[in-house]
Amino acid sequence: MIINPTNRDDIRERAIETTSEIVLKCGNLSVRMDDVAQELSVSKRTLYEIFGSKEELLVECMKRHIARMSKIIADEMGREEDVLTVFIKHLEVLIAESRERDHNKFEDMDKYPKLKKLFHEHLADMACRMRGFMELGVRQGVFRDDLNMDVLMKSFSAMGTMANKESESGQFRYDELIDGTIVVLLRGIATPKGMEKLDKYRYKSNNR
Protein backbone atom coordinates (compact mmCIF):
# COMPACT_ATOMS: atom_id res chain seq x y z
CA MET A 1 0.00 0.00 0.00
CA ILE A 2 1.44 3.39 -1.06
CA ILE A 3 0.90 6.08 1.56
CA ASN A 4 0.50 9.71 0.66
CA PRO A 5 3.13 11.52 2.75
CA THR A 6 0.81 14.49 3.16
CA ASN A 7 -1.83 12.37 4.82
CA ARG A 8 -0.61 12.55 8.41
CA ASP A 9 -3.63 10.75 9.88
CA ASP A 10 -3.04 7.82 7.54
CA ILE A 11 0.66 7.69 8.38
CA ARG A 12 -0.10 7.89 12.08
CA GLU A 13 -2.57 5.01 11.92
CA ARG A 14 -0.30 2.80 9.85
CA ALA A 15 2.69 3.57 12.06
CA ILE A 16 0.77 2.46 15.14
CA GLU A 17 -0.38 -0.73 13.41
CA THR A 18 3.10 -1.58 12.13
CA THR A 19 4.82 -0.85 15.44
CA SER A 20 2.18 -2.77 17.41
CA GLU A 21 2.91 -5.86 15.31
CA ILE A 22 6.63 -5.55 16.06
CA VAL A 23 6.02 -5.05 19.80
CA LEU A 24 3.64 -8.00 20.09
CA LYS A 25 6.02 -10.32 18.27
CA CYS A 26 9.40 -9.15 19.50
CA GLY A 27 9.06 -6.54 22.26
CA ASN A 28 9.83 -2.85 22.65
CA LEU A 29 13.57 -3.22 22.07
CA SER A 30 13.00 -4.49 18.54
CA VAL A 31 11.24 -1.30 17.44
CA ARG A 32 13.45 0.92 15.30
CA MET A 33 12.11 4.14 13.83
CA ASP A 34 14.17 3.50 10.69
CA ASP A 35 12.38 0.19 10.14
CA VAL A 36 8.94 1.69 10.73
CA ALA A 37 9.66 4.56 8.34
CA GLN A 38 10.92 2.16 5.69
CA GLU A 39 7.84 -0.05 6.06
CA LEU A 40 5.58 2.97 5.54
CA SER A 41 7.69 4.46 2.73
CA VAL A 42 8.13 7.74 4.60
CA SER A 43 11.11 9.50 6.11
CA LYS A 44 12.13 9.01 9.72
CA ARG A 45 11.85 12.77 10.10
CA THR A 46 8.15 12.53 9.19
CA LEU A 47 7.60 9.97 11.96
CA TYR A 48 9.31 12.20 14.51
CA GLU A 49 7.21 15.16 13.38
CA ILE A 50 4.05 13.13 14.01
CA PHE A 51 5.00 11.33 17.26
CA GLY A 52 7.85 13.40 18.65
CA SER A 53 9.78 10.36 19.88
CA LYS A 54 9.90 6.59 19.80
CA GLU A 55 8.44 6.57 23.29
CA GLU A 56 5.36 8.50 22.17
CA LEU A 57 4.85 5.96 19.40
CA LEU A 58 5.15 3.10 21.90
CA VAL A 59 2.67 4.83 24.22
CA GLU A 60 0.15 5.03 21.38
CA CYS A 61 0.70 1.33 20.67
CA MET A 62 0.07 0.43 24.30
CA LYS A 63 -3.07 2.57 24.36
CA ARG A 64 -4.28 0.70 21.27
CA HIS A 65 -3.53 -2.66 22.89
CA ILE A 66 -5.34 -1.70 26.11
CA ALA A 67 -8.37 -0.46 24.17
CA ARG A 68 -8.48 -3.67 22.11
CA MET A 69 -8.34 -5.92 25.16
CA SER A 70 -10.98 -3.82 26.94
CA LYS A 71 -13.29 -4.12 23.93
CA ILE A 72 -12.84 -7.88 23.81
CA ILE A 73 -13.85 -8.16 27.46
CA ALA A 74 -16.76 -5.74 27.06
CA ASP A 75 -18.05 -7.61 24.00
CA GLU A 76 -17.82 -10.95 25.78
CA MET A 77 -19.55 -9.57 28.87
CA GLY A 78 -22.44 -8.56 26.63
CA ARG A 79 -22.70 -12.03 25.08
CA GLU A 80 -21.94 -14.51 27.86
CA GLU A 81 -24.10 -15.53 30.80
CA ASP A 82 -21.36 -15.58 33.44
CA VAL A 83 -18.06 -13.89 34.21
CA LEU A 84 -16.07 -17.14 34.40
CA THR A 85 -16.74 -17.85 30.73
CA VAL A 86 -15.54 -14.33 29.92
CA PHE A 87 -12.44 -14.92 32.03
CA ILE A 88 -11.68 -18.16 30.17
CA LYS A 89 -12.06 -16.51 26.76
CA HIS A 90 -9.76 -13.70 27.87
CA LEU A 91 -7.12 -16.27 28.87
CA GLU A 92 -7.47 -17.85 25.43
CA VAL A 93 -6.74 -14.49 23.80
CA LEU A 94 -3.61 -14.03 25.94
CA ILE A 95 -2.42 -17.56 25.14
CA ALA A 96 -3.01 -17.05 21.40
CA GLU A 97 -0.98 -13.84 21.54
CA SER A 98 1.84 -15.58 23.40
CA ARG A 99 2.24 -18.06 20.54
CA GLU A 100 3.00 -15.20 18.16
CA ARG A 101 5.83 -13.67 20.20
CA ASP A 102 9.11 -14.76 21.73
CA HIS A 103 9.54 -12.07 24.39
CA ASN A 104 7.66 -9.93 26.84
CA LYS A 105 5.95 -7.36 24.62
CA PHE A 106 6.36 -4.59 27.19
CA GLU A 107 9.97 -5.23 28.14
CA ASP A 108 12.58 -2.72 29.27
CA MET A 109 10.09 -0.03 30.25
CA ASP A 110 12.57 1.67 32.59
CA LYS A 111 13.89 3.41 29.49
CA TYR A 112 10.44 4.81 28.76
CA PRO A 113 8.93 6.52 31.86
CA LYS A 114 5.70 7.55 30.11
CA LEU A 115 5.18 4.02 28.85
CA LYS A 116 5.92 2.58 32.29
CA LYS A 117 3.47 4.99 33.93
CA LEU A 118 0.72 4.07 31.46
CA PHE A 119 1.40 0.36 31.97
CA HIS A 120 1.15 0.60 35.76
CA GLU A 121 -2.04 2.65 35.48
CA HIS A 122 -3.40 -0.12 33.27
CA LEU A 123 -2.42 -2.76 35.84
CA ALA A 124 -4.18 -0.79 38.59
CA ASP A 125 -7.29 -0.48 36.44
CA MET A 126 -7.20 -4.20 35.63
CA ALA A 127 -6.89 -5.05 39.33
CA CYS A 128 -9.98 -2.97 40.06
CA ARG A 129 -11.89 -4.64 37.22
CA MET A 130 -10.70 -8.06 38.33
CA ARG A 131 -12.10 -7.52 41.79
CA GLY A 132 -15.41 -6.49 40.26
CA PHE A 133 -15.38 -9.63 38.08
CA MET A 134 -14.71 -11.83 41.10
CA GLU A 135 -17.54 -10.23 43.09
CA LEU A 136 -19.88 -10.61 40.12
CA GLY A 137 -18.82 -14.27 39.81
CA VAL A 138 -19.81 -14.81 43.44
CA ARG A 139 -23.26 -13.35 42.76
CA GLN A 140 -23.59 -15.49 39.64
CA GLY A 141 -22.75 -18.65 41.58
CA VAL A 142 -19.54 -19.59 39.72
CA PHE A 143 -17.20 -18.51 42.56
CA ARG A 144 -17.42 -19.35 46.26
CA ASP A 145 -18.95 -16.80 48.58
CA ASP A 146 -16.36 -17.26 51.37
CA LEU A 147 -13.45 -15.61 49.53
CA ASN A 148 -11.04 -13.07 51.00
CA MET A 149 -10.92 -10.69 48.02
CA ASP A 150 -7.77 -8.91 49.20
CA VAL A 151 -5.82 -12.17 49.38
CA LEU A 152 -7.31 -13.34 46.09
CA MET A 153 -6.23 -10.18 44.24
CA LYS A 154 -2.69 -10.53 45.60
CA SER A 155 -2.63 -14.14 44.43
CA PHE A 156 -3.77 -13.28 40.91
CA SER A 157 -1.17 -10.51 40.69
CA ALA A 158 1.68 -12.73 41.86
CA MET A 159 0.74 -15.58 39.55
CA GLY A 160 0.32 -13.31 36.54
CA THR A 161 3.73 -11.74 37.15
CA MET A 162 5.34 -15.14 37.57
CA ALA A 163 3.74 -16.51 34.38
CA ASN A 164 5.00 -13.57 32.33
CA LYS A 165 8.49 -13.79 33.80
CA GLU A 166 8.84 -17.55 33.41
CA SER A 167 7.51 -17.50 29.83
CA GLU A 168 10.50 -15.33 28.90
CA SER A 169 12.93 -18.01 30.08
CA GLY A 170 11.58 -20.46 27.51
CA GLN A 171 11.44 -23.31 30.02
CA PHE A 172 7.62 -23.43 29.90
CA ARG A 173 5.05 -22.44 27.33
CA TYR A 174 2.73 -19.61 28.34
CA ASP A 175 -0.33 -21.87 28.14
CA GLU A 176 1.39 -24.36 30.50
CA LEU A 177 2.07 -21.56 32.97
CA ILE A 178 -1.52 -20.30 32.79
CA ASP A 179 -2.87 -23.82 33.28
CA GLY A 180 -0.54 -24.45 36.22
CA THR A 181 -1.18 -21.14 37.99
CA ILE A 182 -4.23 -19.08 37.06
CA VAL A 183 -6.47 -22.02 36.17
CA VAL A 184 -5.43 -23.87 39.34
CA LEU A 185 -6.32 -20.76 41.37
CA LEU A 186 -9.66 -20.48 39.59
CA ARG A 187 -10.42 -24.12 40.38
CA GLY A 188 -9.71 -23.42 44.03
CA ILE A 189 -12.30 -20.63 44.20
CA ALA A 190 -14.88 -22.15 41.85
CA THR A 191 -18.22 -23.60 42.89
CA PRO A 192 -19.32 -26.94 41.34
CA LYS A 193 -21.01 -24.86 38.61
CA GLY A 194 -17.77 -23.02 37.92
CA MET A 195 -15.69 -26.19 38.12
CA GLU A 196 -17.74 -27.73 35.32
CA LYS A 197 -16.89 -24.82 33.03
CA LEU A 198 -13.20 -24.95 33.93
CA ASP A 199 -13.02 -28.68 33.26
CA LYS A 200 -14.49 -28.12 29.79
CA TYR A 201 -11.88 -25.42 29.15
CA ARG A 202 -9.02 -27.69 30.25
CA TYR A 203 -10.35 -30.56 28.14
CA LYS A 204 -10.46 -28.30 25.09
CA SER A 205 -6.97 -26.90 25.82
CA ASN A 206 -5.42 -30.34 26.27
CA ASN A 207 -6.90 -31.65 23.03
CA ARG A 208 -5.76 -28.87 20.69
| Tens-digit pLDDT profile for residues 112-163 | 899 889 988 988 888 888 899 899 999 999 999 999 999 999 998 888 777 7
pLDDT score recorded for residue 205: 60
Rounded distance, CA 10 to CA 41, Å? 12
Q: What is the mean pLDDT of the chain?
A: 83
Gyration radius of the chain over CA positions: 19
Asked whether residue 66 is domain-assigned, the answer is yes
Domain count within the chain:
1
In this structure, is residue 147 part of a structural domain? Answer: yes
Query: Contact at 8 Å (CB) between 33 and 48?
Result: yes
- How high is the pLDDT of residue 107? 55
- Do the domain assignments include residue 24? no
Inter-residue contact 158 to 166 (CB < 8 Å): no
Percent of the chain with pLDDT over 90: 35
Positive/negative CA dihedral, 152, 155, 161, 164: negative
Find how far residue 126's CA is from the centre of its chain. 10
What is the CATH number for 66? 1.10.357
pLDDT band at 204 (very low <50, low <70, confident <90, very high): low
Residue 30 located in a structural domain:
no
Buried b or exposed e, range 174-187, using 16+ CB within 10 angstroms: bbebbbebbbeebe
Q: Give residue 115's domain range.
A: 55-206
- Whether 19 is covered by a domain: the verdict is no
